Amino acid sequence: SRTGMASAVLFVDLDNFKTLNDTRGHEVGDMLLTEVARRLKSHVRERLSGGQLDAVFLSKVFNISRSQLATRLAGAGTLQPAEAERVVLTEQLMAHGIAAFGERDVFMAWMQDESPALQGQRPIDLVRTTTGMALVLDELTSIEHGIPV
């Protein structure tokens, strides 16, 4: 990338969107897309404030401080689509981790320990990249299913 910034594409399939856009006009279609974006952002903020996601953990995923994360999530329009996608992936990771270990605290302790299955790396250090996130999710799936390493 010329700018040195990472980017991603998030595809959202809205049922009957083309029909709405064609019959009601692009202005109505734009209003719907704006509302979908608002709801996605709201969902992320609710998950954080409701405790489903851990702000410390999420700041590790984004590789920013907790105060920077709070600033990004507090302002309107500051959460980019790629960031929203990472929040969803993080939420999935948390759900898998709690399912695999039975308790959030046990899962979070596992995230801090070096894992032989992850070549001695700590899972918390891997989740900063999409590939690392996938490796950790694969390992959690193995743990959930009792597959030995």
Identity of the amino acid at 7: S
pLDDT above 60: residue 99: yes
Question: What's the whole-number mean pLDDT along residues 97-107?
Answer: 89
| DSSP structure string for 36-100 | HHHHHHHHHHHHHHTTSS-HHHHHHHHTS-HHHHHHHHHSTT-S-HHHHHHHHHHHHHHHHHHHH
Residue from 103, 91, 11, 2 nearest 51 by CA:
91
Contact call for residues 53 and 91 (beta carbons, < 8 A): yes
pTM tops 0.75, yes or no: no
Confidence at residue 122, expressed as pLDDT on a 0 to 100 scale: 94
pLDDT single digits (tens) 105-140: 899 899 999 999 999 999 999 988 888 888 999 999
Half-sphere exposure of 7 (CA within 13 A, CB side): 6
β-strand partners of 115: 121
pLDDT single digits (tens) 46-94: 655 555 566 667 777 777 777 877 777 666 445 666 677 777 788 788 8
Identify the residue with better confidence: 36 or 44.
36
Confidence at residue 38, expressed as pLDDT on a 0 to 100 scale: 76
Confidence at residue 77, expressed as pLDDT on a 0 to 100 scale: 46
**Cα–Cα dist 110/125, whole Å:** 12
Confidence at residue 118, expressed as pLDDT on a 0 to 100 scale: 93
Specify the range with the lowest mean pLDDT, choosing from 10-14, 22-26, 140-144. Answer: 10-14
Residue from 51, 27, 50, 31 nearest 39 by CA:
31
